Chains A and B, each alone.
Chain A
Amino acid sequence: MKVIDRVTLQYMKRNKGRTWVTILGAVISVAMLSAVIVIVCSAQDMLLRHTIESGGQWETRFFGVAADKAAGAGKSEEVASYGISTVGKYASYPGGEATNKPYLYVSGETNFDIFNTQIREGRLPQTDTEMIVSESFSLKNPDACAIGSRITVSFGRRMSEQDGEKFELGTNYSYGGYDETFEVEEQKEYTIVGIFEAPDKEVEAFGAYRAMYGLDEKALPGNGTYEVTVDYNNYKRLGNKIYTISGELGDTLGASDIKYNTGLLGYLGISNDSSFMTMIYMLAAVVGIIILIGSISLIYNAFSISIAERSRTFGMLSSVGATRQQKRHSVFFEAACVGAVAIPLGLAAGIAGMAVTFKIINPVFREWMQNDLGLEVSLSWGGIAVIILFSALVLLISAWIPSRHASRVSALEALRQSREYKITAKSVRTSKLTRLVFGFEGELGLKNLKRNKSHYRTTVFSLTVSVLLFMTAYTFSAYVRKSNDMIQAPLSYDINVSMSDDADSMDRLSEELMGLKGAGSAVAVKKLRGEVELPADMVGSELAAVYAEENGKYNISVQLLAMDDASLRSYMQEQGIAEETLSGDGLNGILINRINFKKGHEFAELDLLNGVKTGDILDFHVTDGLKDLAEDDLKLAAVSGGKTPFGDKYVTDVYSVQVIVSMEALDKICEMLPEPKYFVTENVYYTMGENENLEDEIRTICNKYRDVSSRVNSVAAEQKEVMNGVIIISVFLYGFVALIALVSMANIMNTISTGMQLRRREFAMLQSVGMTPKGFRKMLTMEGLFYGIKGLVYGLPISIFVIWGMHRILVSNVSFSFYVPAGALTGAVAGVFILVGVTMVYGRRKARAGSIVEVLKDENA
C-alpha cells in the first residue's frame, strides 16, 4: 500500500465517529437507490406473474401450421413446452338466444397448462368429445353445465349484411352492435367434464363464452390448419434473440403468421409497449434523481469536511514533496474505502428493507390490486449493476471537488493554520443589535455560523430539504384523504344497485332486492328521463347555464321518480305533504324545486325553476331525439324542497329537475314506450344494518338476472379501496421521506459536530479565559437556534409554495380550498428543532470531552 493511502486510512481510523457517519450516509443513499430499483424490478415481476397467471407462460404463437408439421415444435432445442390448438369457432348453445352472450367460442387443445388453465370443477378433457367450459358460463347456465351432462352445440358463422353484401363477423365484433344472423354449419355433441378459469382465453371472442375440447397431438385431423403456442427455455435471458429464434421456428413449422405475447415480453423490457412500466420508470427516475442529489450533497460534504480536517496533513505531505496527483488520489482512496463498505451494506439494507415493507403492505396491496399476487422482492443482475454503478458514480462525483481542493493545499497554508485563512472581517460581521438581544455568547454563536459558509449552507440546505419533503408528503396524504371524504360526503346511502335493460326482469329483481333482510333501510326507485319545454323566465340561472336557449325557451331534462310505497309514505310525511296528493287521476308529481347547492366552497339554497306553484301543468315528453315516444301532462301536485330519501345531501352540478310521481302513474307512461325501454332505470339504495354480508347477497341475487345489466356500488368498498391506495402510497412516501430525512440528519450531524471538533481548541480557550458552562451552552444553543430558524425561513415558504402547486394540480378547485395541514407545520417546526437540538447536545458533548488543558496541549486539536 502506498504511504499516502496508509496515512489516509490512519486518519479514517482515528476519526472513527466521522468516518462512520460518512459510511452511514453512503449506506442510506445506496439503500434508497436499491429500494427504488427493487421496487421497479418487483413491480415488473408482479406484472409478469400477473400476465402469466391470466394468460399462461408462452412467448410466441404460430398460425396456419399444417397438421403434419405442428408437432415439429417439440423437436426444437429452444422450446421448453408447446401446445397445439385448432382454430377457434363460434357455436350457438341451447338457451343462449335470449342473452347478450349467445355463443360459445370453441377450440381444441393439446396442452392446457401453457395457457394456465385452472380447473375449478371436474377434470381436463382427454378426447375431442369431452369439453370444459368457463366458470362465467357455468354461473349463468348452471343447469346446462353440470359435470357429466351432454351439450349439443351448433358450429357456424356470425353473418351480417351491409349494402346488400354479406360479411362474416369475426371475434372482435361486439354482439348487439350489428344486425347479425348465425349460419349453422354443423352440430356436435360434447360431454362436459370440467369447469375452468383462464382469464385471457375467456376474453378472446366477443359475444361468446369460452369452451375447449381435448386434442390428441398424434392424431390431428389432417384437414385444416393449427395454431402452435411455444414457451422457450430460459425465456427471460433470450432478449431480442426471441425474434430470430421464432422466425427460424416459424419457417420450420411453415407458419403463415407469428404473434408475440406482447404483455409478457413488455414486462421483460423486450418489447416496450407497456405504459404502466413507462410510468414506473418515470417515477423511479424522478425519485432516483432526488436521491442522487441528496446523496451527493451529503457525501460531498463529508469529503470536504475530511479535507478541511486534514489540511495540516496535506500541507505537511506537500512540504515533503507529495505531488498534486498524490494528494488528489488520497481523496479518491477515501471514497473507495467508504464505497467498499457502504455499497454492499446499502444493497443488503435496501433489499431487506423492501422485503419487510412488501411483507407489511402486501395484505393491503392485494386487496387494492384485487388479485392475490402481491409484491415479491425481485432484483435482476442488471438492477444490481445499475445500483453499484450509480453508487460508485455518486462517490466519484462527491469526491471530485474536494479532491481538487486537497491538491491545492500548499505547505504554507497548512502552517498558517490554513483553515481559517478565508475568514474576513466582513464575512463574520454582526449587528450591534445581536449583542443587545442575544448577549455576547449569542453574538459569538452567530459569528461562528458565518465563519464557515459551506458548513452553514450545507446545514441550512439539508434542513430545508427535510422540511420540504416532510411537509409535502404529509400534505399529500392529507389531501388525498380529504378529497376522498369530500367525494363521499354528499352520499346518503351505503350501497347502490343500479339496473337497466329488460323492464320486467328489472321489476322482479328490484322486488327481490327489497326483500333482503338485515339492511338498515332500503329504498327502491324507478326512474324515467324525459323533458319539458319551459319559457326562459321560468328557468333558474344554474339550469340556464347548462342548456341552450331556443326561441326564448329551454328544453329542460326532467326525471320522474317513483318509489316503493313505504318509502313514499314516509317521505311525504317528513315533507308534510298530504298522502292523497299523488293519488288523483293522470300524472301528478311533487316537484323538488329548492335544493341544497354547493358552489365552490359555499353552500346555498337554490330554486331550480322560478315562479312555479302547485297546480301548474308542464308538458312532459320522452323523446329519442327525433320523435316523441310518450307524452303526458305533468300536474304539479306539490312543490317541495330538500333532498329525496336516497339523494345526495347536496349537489354540486345541476342538470335536471326531479319530480316524484306514484308508481302506477310512472308505469302507465312506461307502457307507452316501445321496447327496449332505454329510458327507464331502477335503483335500490341501502344503508347498512346488522347484515354484514349484505353486499355479497345483493351480488348473488343480481347474478341470477341475466337479462338485467346491474351494477353494485358500495360506498364502503370504494372508500376502502381508496384508503388502501392511500395507505400504500403513504408507506412508500413516508419511508422515502424518513430515509431522506435520515440522510439530511447524517449530513447535519456530520457538519455541526465536525464544526465543533474543529473548534475544540477555541472552546478550551474560551473556557480558560472564563466562559462559564452556562455561557457555553448559551452560545451553542444560539447557534442551533439560528440554524433552525434559517432552515424554517427557507423551508416553510418553499414547502407552502410547493403544496400550493400540488393543490392546484391534484385537487380540483371545487372540492376544497388551499390549506396547509396544521400537523405538517407543527411537525416540521418541532422536527427541525429536535434535530438541531439533538445535534447540538451531541456536539457539546464532543466539544467538552477532555479537559481544557489537554485540548490546549493537543497540537492537532
Chain B
Amino acid sequence: MEILRVEHLSKIYGQGETAVKALDDVSFSVEEGQFVAIIGPSGSGKSTLLHILGGVDTPTSGKVIIDNTDITSLNETALAIFRRRQIGLVYQFYNLIPVLNVEENMQLPLLLDGRKVDHKAYANIVNKLGLEKRRTYLPNQLSGGQQQRVSIGRALMNNPAIVLADEPTGNLDSKNSVEIMGLLREFHKELHQTLFVITHDERIALQADRILAIEDGKVVKDEVIRK
C-alpha cells in the first residue's frame, strides 16, 4: 500500500539571480513499511526534502500526499497536529528540551496531544534504547549517544506512520553509530513504520530496502535493492 507520494516537488530559496533550486521537480512514491536511504553530496537537497516530507518546511510548488492527505494544503495548526501524530523526526543534533527529563522528552508529542501514554509501549522502547536507568535524567546529564537515543525514542513514542532521520549518526562515534542504526532498523521491523534515513555512510545505505540518490535537487537514481 502506498503511504507517501511526492508530485513535482520544487523548493527554491531566494529570488532572482541569487535563487537556489534546492529541489527540482522531484516525484516518487513509497510503500508502507519501506526503509529508504537518501544519499547524495552535501548541498544536494536531502535535508530540504526530508523537512518538507516532515511538514516542518513548505515546498515552493508540488504536493506531498501522506496517507491520502495533501500536507502542503494544511494550515499551521493542522500541520502541527499532523506532525505529532504521523511523523517522527530525528536530527543530527538531538534537540532535546533541557528542562524536561528523559521520560518527558520522549513523551513530548503525546503530552502535547494530551493523549494517554501507553506504558507498555513506552517501557518497551525505553528498554530497547537502554535508558531504563536514565529515565529521570536531564539531557545535560547524558552522553551524545544517549541523547540521540532519547530523540529516537521521542520520534517513535507516538507510533508515527513515518520516521524521518537526518544524518542520525553524523555526530556519533562508530560504535554508537552502529548501535543507533541497529535500533532504528529493529524498531522499523517491529513497528512496521516507514523509515527515511539520510546518510553519507555507504554501509548504512546498503541496509535499506531502497536507495534514493539526489544531486542538484534532482533524483538521479532510485534503486530498490531489497523487497
Residues of B47-74 whose CB lies within 8 A of A: 47, 51, 54, 56-57
Given contacts A767-B80, A774-B77, contact A421 B99 (CB under 8 A): no
B95 touches A773 (CB 8 A): no
State the Cβ distance, A843 to closest chain B Cβ, in Å: 17
A770 to B80, CA, bound (A): 4
- Interface membership of B81, Cβ < 8 A: yes
Give Cα A45–Cα B22 distance, bound, in whole angstroms.
71
B113 close to A (CB within 8 Å): yes
CA distance A771 to B110 in the complex (A): 10
A775/B112 contact (C-beta < 8 A), A447-B100, A765-B95, A768-B56 known: yes
Cross-chain contact B85 with A770 (CB below 8 angstroms):
yes
A654 on interface, CB distance cutoff 8 Å: no
B98/A423 in contact, CB under 8 A: yes
CB distance from A614 to the nearest CB of B (A): 87
User: B140 at interface (Cβ–Cβ under 8 A)?
Assistant: yes
Q: Which of A425, A764, A765, A771 contacts B138 (CB 8 A)?
A: A425
Q: Which residue of B lies closest to A424 (CB)?
A: B138
- Establish whether residues A852 and B56, one from each chain, have CB atoms under 8 Å apart when the complex forms: yes
- How far in angstroms is the closest Cβ of chain B from A858? 11
Whether A766 pairs with B97 at a CB distance below 8 angstroms is yes
CA distance A325 to B201 in the complex (A): 44
Contacts of B101 in A (CB 8 A): 425
Chain B interface size range: 35 or more
Asked if A801 is at the interface of the complex by the 8 Å CB criterion, the answer is: no
Q: Residues of B contacting A421 with CB < 8 Å?
A: 140
Q: How many angstroms between the C-alpha atoms of A608 and B101 in the bound complex? A: 79
The answer for the CA separation of A447 and B105 in the assembled complex, in Å, is: 13
Q: How far is the CB of B57 from chain A (nearest CB, A)?
A: 5
CB distance from A357 to the nearest CB of B (A): 47
Are B111 and A440 closer than 8 Å at their CB atoms? yes
Instruction: For B97, give its contact among A441, A765, A856 (CB under 8 Å).
Output: A765
Task: Among A420, A424, A450, find the residue whose CB has the most chain B CB atoms closer than 10 A.
Answer: A420
Contacts of A425 in B (CB 8 A): 101, 136-138
Quick one: closest A residue to B154, CB to CB?
A769
A120 partner residues in chain B, CB cutoff 8 A: none
Q: Which residue of B lies closest to A854 (CB)?
A: B57
Instruction: Confirm or deny: B109 has a beta carbon within 8 angstroms of a beta carbon on chain A.
Output: yes
Cβ–Cβ contact A853 & B100, under 8 A? no
Q: Is A10's CB within 8 Å of the partner chain B?
A: no
Determine how close the nearest CB of chain B comes to the CB of A758; give it in whole angstroms. 10
- Pick the residue among A423, A440, A856 that contacts B114 (CB under 8 A): A440
Interface 0/1 of A747-767, CB less than 8 Å to B = 000000000000001101111
Q: Considering only CB atoms, which chain B residue lies closest to A449 in the complex?
A: B99
Q: Does B21 contact A (CB under 8 A)?
A: no
B81 touches A770 (CB 8 A): yes
- Known contacts A417-B140, A451-B98, A769-B89; decide if A440 and B56 are in contact (CB<8 Å): no
| Measured CA separation A755–B85 after assembly (Å) | 29
How far apart are the CA atoms of A648 and B109 in the complex, in Å? 76
Residues of chain B within 8 A (CB-CB) of A766 are 97, 108, 112
Contact A771 B112 (CB under 8 A): yes
How distant is the Cα of A252 from the Cα of B100 in the complex, in angstroms?
Answer: 89
A451, A770, A856: the one contacting B84 at CB < 8 Å is: A770
**Interface SS majority for chain A:** helix
If A417-B140, A421-B140 touch, whether A770 touches B83 (CB-CB below 8 Å) is yes
Interface residues of A, CB < 8 Å — how many? Answer: 35
Q: Which of A417, A428, A770 meets B112, CB within 8 Å? A: A770
Closest residue of chain A to B78, judged by CB?
A772
- Within the assembled complex, what's the spacing in Å between the Cα atoms of A769 and B139? 17
In the bound complex, residues from chain A placing their C-beta under 8 Å from that of B76 are 772-773
Contact with B along A800-835 (1 / 0, CB 8 A): 000000000000000000000000000000000000
Closest Cβ of chain B to A420, distance in Å, is: 4
Chain A residues near B91 (CB-CB < 8 A): 856
User: Shortest CB–CB separation between residue A369 and chain B, in angstroms?
Assistant: 59
| Those of A833-853 within 8 Å (CB) of chain B | 851-853
The reply to whether B98 and A852 contact each other, CB–CB distance below 8 Å, is no
Q: Does A746 contact B (CB under 8 A)?
A: no
Establish whether residues B57 and A853, one from each chain, have CB atoms under 8 Å apart when the complex forms.
yes
Q: Residues of B contacting A439 with CB < 8 Å?
A: 114
Whether A420 and B98, one on each chain, are in contact in the complex, defined by CB atoms closer than 8 angstroms, is yes
Verify A762–B97 contact, CB threshold 8 A. yes
User: Whose C-beta in chain B lies nearest to the C-beta of A857?
Assistant: B47
A772 touches B114 (CB 8 A): no
A769 touches B140 (CB 8 A): no
Cα distance A764–B51 in the bound complex, in angstroms: 12
Which partner residue on chain A sits nearest B48 by CB separation? A853
Query: Hey, which chain B residues are within 8 Å of A428, CB to CB?
Result: 99, 138
Q: Give the chain B neighbours of A444 by CB distance below 8 A.
A: 97, 99-100
A762 to B96, CA, bound (A): 7
Q: Among the listed A761, A769, A772, A852, which residue makes an inter-chain contact with B108, where contact means beta carbons less than 8 Å apart?
A: A769
- Rounded to whole angstroms, the CA-CA distance of A767 and B140 in the bound complex is 21
Q: Are A770 and B109 in contact (CB under 8 A)?
A: yes
Query: Which residue in B80, B96, B98, B100 is a CB contact (below 8 Å) of A772?
Result: B80
A236 at the interface (CB under 8 A from B): no
Interfacial chain A residues near B93, Cβ < 8 Å:
856
Once bound together, how far apart are the Cα atoms of A439 and B115, in whole Å?
A: 12
B57 CB contacts on chain A under 8 angstroms: 851-853
Closest to B54 in A: A768
Report A-chain residues with C-beta under 8 Å of the C-beta of B84.
769-771
Determine whether A596 belongs to the interface, using a CB cutoff of 8 Å to chain B. Answer: no
- Bound-complex Cα distance A444 to B101 (A): 12
Beyond the given A772-B80, A775-B80, could you list 6 further A-B residue pairs with CB under 8 A, ordered by the A residue number? Answer: A423-B140, A439-B114, A762-B98, A768-B95, A769-B89, A773-B76
Please name 21 pairs of A and B residues whose Cβ atoms are closer than 8 Å in the assembled complex, sorted by A.
A416-B140, A423-B138, A423-B140, A424-B138, A425-B136, A425-B137, A428-B99, A439-B114, A450-B99, A451-B98, A764-B95, A765-B97, A768-B56, A768-B95, A769-B154, A770-B82, A771-B80, A775-B112, A852-B56, A853-B57, A856-B93
* Interface residue ranges, A against B (CB under 8 Å): 416-417, 420-421, 423-425, 428, 439-441, 444, 447-448, 450-451, 761-762, 764-775, 851-853, 856-857
3 smallest beta-carbon distances between A and B, as pairs: A770-B84, A770-B83, A447-B99
